[in-house]
Amino acid sequence: MADPIIAAIAFDGISPFHLSVPCLVFGTDRTRLGLPRFDFRVCAMEQGAIHTDAGLMIAVPHGLAALEDADIVIVPSWRELEDPLPPALTEALGRAHRRGALIVGLCLGTFAIAAAGLLAGRRATTHWAYTDQLQALHPDIILDADVLYVDEGDIVTSAGVAAGLDCCLHIVRARYGAEIALRLARHIVLSPHRQGGQAQFIERPVAKTPTADRFAQALDQVRKTLGEAHSLDSVADAAGLTRRTFTRRFQKSNGTSFGDWLTDQRLALAQRLLEATDKSMDMVAFEAGFGSATSLRQHFAARLRTSPMQYRREFSKSAQGRAHASAL
């Protein structure tokens, strides 16, 4: 099985940090850790070395022709947001999209994808500080300004800076499963899973207090016992907080509600169980805290747009493919 081809588009004036995001996730061979390998390419419109906004120069080995057989095309950022896209890039992105490549816009890269005409009538996001500008330039986009990333199936867009890492990790999770994504996240020291619907801006407590420690301990205990019942009141009590204070603090520190967070934690555990074990659907549902296989199926359909059985089947095939590739 050929390694998936990932093409990241660089340009004169790019931020080294933004370019480093896809490089970190897709550009390193981690097969010794049992992780998938990618044929990662950095491409550019300009010939020869390009300048970055940090004063560095980068020798880019590929031109836009390298997009022709890419499975995933990533635009990590963009420049001159109100200028028309260069025709060569517009054509290259359009061709890649038409033949079925996944198109990804990280941070201001969403502007380039929009300028290529690929986001008309579609949901998208970008860095929160530029959402008004994006909406003004492209009023036909359904802009979701508050989320980390938006997955439309064939196009994925993310918010700024660190959300690009979350987005790339989401792509790995969608293609290879929760266990592979978790192992990759651990290796690059990244939070293993932040849902795309989580808020871009999250308030963080300034200093630790005994109450804050109890808050963190209460959530850790929930993670360790996902198969058990966890009501909002019981977890708030364990944190030493009133229901109202706990709810407010949870939203500020996690960017989502406790109920949605708990469902995400249970889904992630169910995914790992489906990938790594042959336990029955009833047992997976029980251990993940869904109570029944019916409830498990409903949550998979609502959040992941698939069934637990199909999920297990697809990632079983993926694991067999990786094992075969490693043996070659």
Mean pLDDT of the chain: 88
| Alpha carbons 115 and 105: distance in angstroms, whole number | 12
CB 50 within 8 Å of CB 77 = no
Q: Please give the average per-residue pLDDT across 107-135, as a whole number.
A: 96
Mapping DSSP onto H, E and C, the string for 238-256 reads HCCCCHHHHHHHHHHHHCC
In the chain, the percentage of residues whose pLDDT exceeds 70 is 89
| Alpha carbons 167 and 150: distance in angstroms, whole number | 8
Residue 188 zone, left/alpha/beta (φ > 0; ψ -120 to 50; rest): alpha
DSSP 192-258: S---TTSBS-----SS--HHHHHHHHHHHHHHHTTTS---HHHHHHHTT--HHHHHHHHHHHHSS-H
- Residue 16 clears pLDDT 70, i.e. is over it: yes
**pLDDT score, position 211:** 52
The answer for residues whose C-beta is within 8 angstroms of residue 232's C-beta and 6 or more apart is: 243, 246, 247, 258, 259
**pLDDT score, position 161:** 76
More confident residue, 48 or 37: 37
The answer for residues whose C-beta is within 8 angstroms of residue 110's C-beta and 6 or more apart is: 75, 78, 119, 124, 125, 126, 134, 157, 158
**pLDDT score, position 193:** 56
| Alpha carbons 189 and 219: distance in angstroms, whole number | 20
Mapping DSSP to helix (H, G, I), strand (E, B) and coil, where does residue 166 land?
helix
Of 31, 21, 224, 223, nearest to 106 by C-alpha is: 21
Identify residue 162 by its one-letter amino acid code: A
**pLDDT score, position 124:** 97
- Residue 200 clears pLDDT 60, i.e. is over it: no
Identify residue 285 by its one-letter amino acid code: A
Q: How confident is the model at residue 207 (pLDDT cuts 50, 70, 90)?
A: very low
The answer for residues whose C-beta is within 8 angstroms of residue 4's C-beta and 6 or more apart is: 36, 38, 39, 71, 72, 175
- Residue 198 clears pLDDT 60, i.e. is over it: no
Domains of the chain, earliest start first: 5-188 (3.40.50.880), 211-325 (1.10.10.60)
- Residue 197 clears pLDDT 80, i.e. is over it: no
Q: Please give the average per-residue pLDDT across 314-323, as a whole number.
A: 61
Mapping DSSP to helix (H, G, I), strand (E, B) and coil, where does residue 160 land?
coil
